[in-house]
Amino acid sequence: MMRRRTFLQGAAAVGAAALLPRRASAAADLKPIYAQVDKHHGEALARLQAWIKQPTIAAESRGITEGRDLTMRMLRDAGFGKVESVSTDGHPGIFATLDAGAPRTIGVYFMYDVKQVDPKEWSSPPWDAALVDLPKLGKVVMGRGAVNQKGPEAAFLSALHAIRGAGKKLPVNLVLVAEGEEEDGSPHFGEAVHRADVQAALAGCQAINMPSASQTLDGNVDITLGAKGVVQVELRASGERWGRGPKRDIHSGMRPAVDSPIYHLVLALASLVTPDGVDPAIDGMEAKVRPLSDFEKKLVADVAARRDEKTFQKEFSIEHWARDLSYRESLERLSGRPTVNIQGLVAGYQGPAGKTILPHAGVAKLDIRLVPDLKAEDVLKMLRAHLDKRGFADIEIVNQGSYDPNTTPYDALGTRTQLAVYRAAGFEPLVIPRSGGSWPGYLFTEAPLKLPTMHFGLGYGRGAHSKDEIFVVEPKGPKVEGIAGAVRSHVDLLYTFASIK
Amino acid sequence: MMRRRTFLQGAAAVGAAALLPRRASAAADLKPIYAQVDKHHGEALARLQAWIKQPTIAAESRGITEGRDLTMRMLRDAGFGKVESVSTDGHPGIFATLDAGAPRTIGVYFMYDVKQVDPKEWSSPPWDAALVDLPKLGKVVMGRGAVNQKGPEAAFLSALHAIRGAGKKLPVNLVLVAEGEEEDGSPHFGEAVHRADVQAALAGCQAINMPSASQTLDGNVDITLGAKGVVQVELRASGERWGRGPKRDIHSGMRPAVDSPIYHLVLALASLVTPDGVDPAIDGMEAKVRPLSDFEKKLVADVAARRDEKTFQKEFSIEHWARDLSYRESLERLSGRPTVNIQGLVAGYQGPAGKTILPHAGVAKLDIRLVPDLKAEDVLKMLRAHLDKRGFADIEIVNQGSYDPNTTPYDALGTRTQLAVYRAAGFEPLVIPRSGGSWPGYLFTEAPLKLPTMHFGLGYGRGAHSKDEIFVVEPKGPKVEGIAGAVRSHVDLLYTFASIK
């Protein structure tokens, strides 16, 4: 194995990145650890499969206790000295520490829950964690949570096993916090994080890492400098609340003289977006959107230059960007724009053909993604005021988990560590100002902790929140790493974090 | 029993109707028949209950054959000489005749299907046909189809049993056509009606009667002079058809740069109605709406004067008319206005909480009610053109059963018969220009048959297309008739139809 440290720094050098050699040589002292990674590959895979086979779905209150207990066992097995369940008003969090007596401490964020599934959509059952051979990718594990987030998290734990297996002490201390409600909008994670002893332990960290699969099929690896906030709400319209329309489903023959709560909801939804359906139109939101800075735009331009557009579109089954904007503009939007999205509509008759009813109620499930300087609490108020002003005061807004966006500086210790590790592995990372998704990182990046965050890890997966979610186990080509490469990257991260200036 | 013939005629006299005595005396020669009605009350009830216990739901292809066979047996039992199944491209119709050698022939329309149910909404299971005591109404049978339409139809059949039981020959001949897809929009009933021998038999009729429960809780009885047409369609939006947005559900983090097929559908739906959601706004529809005539408005004004507004609103669980219009204006709208109604929305994630997906598809189930001179075929074209013009050409319109409105003259034989029978029973009917609901009566009222239609019958029920559908068996107060009164009214109808000038 060849591993060399590149000296390219920052966005200025990115043009040359695609030409860099891959698989640079390993630092000599990590070789025994890498040997452990290779030797225990089967255990690393089995660890991930066992985890996937335990569904934990917050929205369905499914497998919470079992998932938490399994995660706690896995943490103890990986060497965490103290592993505690942290009760909240919702599903419990986990607090774990590993004191290696090292000068630096890295915080780790885990989620032990996964998204819901519709099993009949899947080509292999989502809880089977089956090994599947894909023609282009190679051997993958398929199952809910494979990439979001158990694959990367299991790889991180396997790195701890490998270091211990090589007879070495961790080069950093660890403080881990986990939750079982991430996919539900982390409604109670703040309670766990704010517990005095947890907060004190986190305050001793220099960064927070959420293990991730950061490679893409075009041979790149991503660093993200933040994530969006999210407001997840249900808008509920009903004749009961409105005082208009029927209070139960009635014969639709009454429609000429009776208001329709569903149409009321549809008109409210239409008012929340621009006429082309693309941008939010909630009063007051736009004024709070902080435009991307020139530096952020430069980062995005680099992504546009180096990430293949067609491959990216194909990954998400799309052919055209909204408004037929350019690739660069679309990537800027992914990092820089808030959204109003309808996740689902549940209203009236759902069965085959028709029922000729005038339904009394309907529900729209929205997720509203936030960029700085939008705050979840403010957006909830803006939404309420927007609806009130337009005659939709009766429409109930049910908050189902909302939090603020988060930002990590480009020059933060965590960011510099990632750049160094990836470059040492032969990659010049694509630096994305803000990911399109959300996680409760604001609990770390904002006061009082003000910690930089990372979403680190080699490896590749896809299908988060979708069907046929996968994580690559043994890649066919050289484009992405499998489990072993992911585990090695976490070894590298810990050693680099311990020593980087 | 007192029964007297009133001599009040027409709309001019309606103001006095509320003062009329009820339960006028029976014509002497019908007394033996009425005696049979009373004697066989239990059988009449059992007939209805047995019918309700056999679900037939076209939209779910449920119990079609069983429902048809049961209906055919019931027709034979009631004295129909010829009873045939009429195959169509959909579910079968029924054609039955009873030749009494009488000068006049009355056509009869039956539906043997019922609306879908959501059993968990019901206070008594919808297929139990249980007898329930309601504090105000008395003894009722509760079950799907109780009033729409098995209760009235069973009462009609019991009238035939009673006449035969009294040793009498029917005073009219009968030609009956039935379908099992009425609740699905009668997509194949035309095929049955247009079969040469069926059409020939219908051409020999002087009117078509659909047995109904025409009483209301305020002590009135309704005659309707027509019904609306209906266009039942699904609007289907998807990334596949649109060529924009995702072709499968993807992570909603992509929303800033990816179009949303569900929002596309929502915006299309919003364009179909006026900004307040009340009236259709499909291009071209309004120009084809024939306003109510002065005579029709006079009929409506009479209804407004004599039907209690609060009772009517309560029956449909509403507190306010759309646009806070007056009662009279709202009743005019019920007879005179077309509608665009959303029966149901099925789009994206339907489960608890959220799933943060950008869904690739959504479906809206619409029913569009038609008044003259709107034709179903034209409205389907208008809808297509309206969507095409506004950038919704990709949204698929799936026609799920559509037909034209129908109209019966005030001075038709059937209308005069109803007026005479109700007046003889002590009622001055409320004459409604057009019911808010729909049935495929245009197959009878339009060329070549051009027959007047009736929705005749004493009796009361409610809950059509809704939960807890009922038909009154033994009323507590004097306001509405039970099964026996309904059966007697059908006896009266047949004799009056045979003899009226």
Choose among A320, A348, A466: nearest Cβ to B344: A348
Interface test mutation site (partner A, options B238, B343, B369, max chain A beta carbons within 10 A): B343
Three-class HEC string of A55-119: CCEHHHCECHHHHHHHHHHHHHHCCCCEEEEECCCCCCEEEEEECCCCCCEEEEEEECCCCCCCH
B254 touching A (Cβ < 8 Å): yes
- Whole-angstrom Cα distance, residue A74 to residue A83? 10
CB within 8 Å of chain A, chain B residues 269-298: 269-270, 273, 275, 277-278
Can the peptide bond before residue A118 be classed as cis, meaning omega within 30 degrees of 0? Answer: no
Q: Which pLDDT score, from 0 to 100, does residue B379 have? A: 98
Cα–Cα distance for residue pair B501/B495, rounded to 1 Å: 12
The angle that helices B41-52 and B483-499 make with each other, rounded to 10 degrees, is 100
- Residue A3 has what pLDDT? 27
CA atoms within a 13 Å half-sphere pointing along the CA-CB vector of A396:
15
Question: Looking at residues A294-320, what average pLDDT do you find?
Answer: 95
Task: Work out whether the CA dihedral A356, A358, A359, A364 comes out positive or negative.
Answer: positive
CA distance B154 to B121: 25
Interface predicted TM-score (ipTM) of this complex, two decimals: 0.88
Instruction: List, for chain B, all residue ranges whose pLDDT scores fall below the cut of 70.
Output: 1-28
pLDDT in tens, A125-161: 999 999 999 999 999 999 999 999 999 999 999 999 9
**Residue A27 — pLDDT band, cuts 50, 70, 90?**
low
> Is 80 exceeded by the pLDDT of residue A14?
no
Give contacts of A 414-443 with B, CB under 8 A: 435-438
pLDDT at A18 over 90: no
Q: What are phi and psi of A294, to 5 degrees?
A: -60, -40
Q: Where are the beta strands (DSSP E) in A239-273?
A: 250-251
B192's tokens: 């049955």
Q: Is A207 helix (H, G, I), strand (E, B) or coil?
A: strand
Residues 6+ away with beta carbon under 8 Å from A357: A249, A250, A251, A252, A348, A349, B343, B344, B465, B466
The confidence score (pLDDT) of residue B401 equals 85
Q: Residue B486: beta bridge partners?
A: none
My answer on whether omega of the bond before B400 falls inside 30° of 0, hence cis, is: no
| 3-state SS assignment for residue B340 | strand
CB contact under 8 A, B348 and A349: no
pLDDT, chain A, mean: 93
Angle, alpha carbons B62-B63-B66 (nearest 5°): 165
Handedness of CA A239, A244, A250, A255 (dihedral sign): negative
> Does the pLDDT value for residue A173 go beyond 80?
yes
Asked whether A166 and A35 are in contact (CB, 8 A), the reply is yes
- Candidates B185, B253, B343; nearest CB to A437: B253
Q: List CB contacts (< 8 A) between B351 and chain A.
A: 59-60, 116
CB-nearest to A342 from B251, B266, B321 is B266
CA angle B55/B59/B63 to nearest 5° reads 30
Asked if residue A24 has pLDDT above 90, the reply is no
Residue of A nearest to B361 (CA): A344
